[in-house]
Chains A and B, each alone.
Chain A
Amino acid sequence: MTREILNARRLLCPLPVIRTQNKIKEMRPGARLEVICTDPGVMQDIPAWCRIHGHTVLETRSGDHEYVIVIEVGGAV
């Protein structure tokens, strides 16, 4: 299972979503992407983006002003 990391630190809404969207377009269904951000808004926005595009959020965690979201790429991008 491939797992990639996207560094979206210092980016503010909606750039973390845009970078996630663009990265996932390059990935295959079933692959996993770990997005690391500093904008707390991503905890709402990236899961919302995943829900409407059919991707699955496997994990969210935060600490020390960082927010991490792990996504499994869905079938239809």
Chain B
Amino acid sequence: MNIQRKAVALISGGLDSMLAAKTVMDQGIHVEGINFFTGFCVEGHTHAIREKDRAKPKRNNSLWVAEQLGIKLHIVDVIEEYKNVLINPKHGYGAHLNPCLDCKIFMVNKARQWIAENGFDFIITGEVIGQRPMSQRKDTMPVVARESGADDLLLRPLCAKNLAPTLPEREGWVDREKLHDFSGRSRKPQMEMAARYGFREYSQPAGGCCFLTDKNYSAKLTDLWQAHGHKDYELDDVMLLKVGRHIRPAPHFKLIVAREEGEGRFLQGYRKEFVSMAATSHNGPLVLIDGTPSAEDLYLAAGITARYGQGRKAEQVDVKITDKDGAERTIQVKPFAKELPQEWYL
């Protein structure tokens, strides 16, 4: 009697993982998708927050891919566990704060645990040899298989013919001849394959779908760690790094200045966790103050707050300061007149 073999595919929302899953589905394997949420995924967040992006189509690409493939998708919150990957990457960071190799090992390990708990047989990824500088090199791909504990339960259908046969191939669950031999950074074979399958619309993230590959975001996270005096974070910390202008006039405090109405509304949700301020005599942005500002610092911050509002050229602006406990007071300040020093901007 034939046993229906089952595989879980790591679905990022990009083209490669979509094609990898499809390749194995075409061999009669039951495939379900899994997607891990680390807190650093690019999709959706800024679009959801910013008013100017409200008209842009919003969709979670991993869900969209699963629907195109007709498979279930399990989205797993790994925010807490992922902290150790980001804070202590055994294999180090990439160009910015991206711990790509440790991240891939972590995710394949989580998938390995998932298949054990859910009665699945093996794991599929969309990895291609030579496509990424850290996690998808000829010498690092075996590291992922070994250190994740998945070993030969990890099948990479897009480049399987360039690798040693895995258990699903040796056992005849999948036909190795129908797998692929892609390598390198060219996406041409994937695009041709997508055209053959009729996938005309798909996400093509440049540099991946992770904020940690972004230079500016990584700089803000580094600043956060320096200010806290240790490499740790909460989800709210990393979400706030995606919102507003971040201005640090001194090591012990910074301002988060809403750039538009949508960001202001988002920052409103944090008013009980930060001292906040906004001009009352003129229209202007909501500003959160992170850190331990002195009374003098708050005057400086109020001057900056006034500078970003419609009273920037006024002689005097009323700025309301709200403490975390809701206590309010209003001070009068002259808007910060000069250009802010460039080094204050994070």
Contacts and interface: CB of A to CB of B under 8 A. Distances in A.
A52 interface: yes
A71 to B, nearest CB: 15
A12 B266 CA distance: 10
Contact of B75 (A14, A40, A41, A65): A14
Contacts of B64: 48
Given A14-B41, A39-B48, A52 B67 contact: yes
Contacts of A45: 44, 58-60, 63
B58 A41 contact: yes
A13 B67 contact: no
B44 A41 contact: yes
Contacts of A53: 72
Contact of A17 (B45, B54, B63): B63
Contacts of A28: none
Given A51-B67, A52-B72, A15 B58 contact: no
Contacts of A48: 59-60, 63-64, 66-67
Contact of B73 (A13, A52, A65): A52
Contacts of A14: 35, 37, 41, 43-44, 60, 62-63, 75
A23 interface: no
Given A48-B63, A49-B63, A65-B265, A18 B37 contact: yes
A39 B44 contact: yes
Nearest to B73: A52
A21 interface: yes
Nearest to A13: B44
B75 A12 contact: no
A44 interface: yes
Nearest to B32: A52
Given A12-B239, A18-B77, A41 B67 contact: no
A10 interface: yes
B74 interface: yes
B119 to A, nearest CB: 15
Given A13-B43, A21-B74, A52-B72, A41 B37 contact: no
B47 interface: yes
A51 B71 CA distance: 10
Interface in A1-34: 10, 12-15, 17-18, 21
Contact of B48 (A40, A49, A51, A52): A40
Interface in B31-70: 35, 37, 41, 43-45, 47-49, 54, 57-60, 62-64, 66-67, 70
B229 interface: no
A13 B45 contact: yes
Interface in B12-48: 35, 37, 41, 43-45, 47-48
Given A13-B58, A14-B62, A49-B75, 6 more contacts: A10-B269, A40-B54, A41-B47, A41-B58, A41-B59, A48-B66
12 contacts: A10-B269, A12-B45, A13-B58, A13-B60, A17-B60, A39-B44, A41-B59, A41-B60, A44-B57, A48-B60, A52-B73, A53-B72
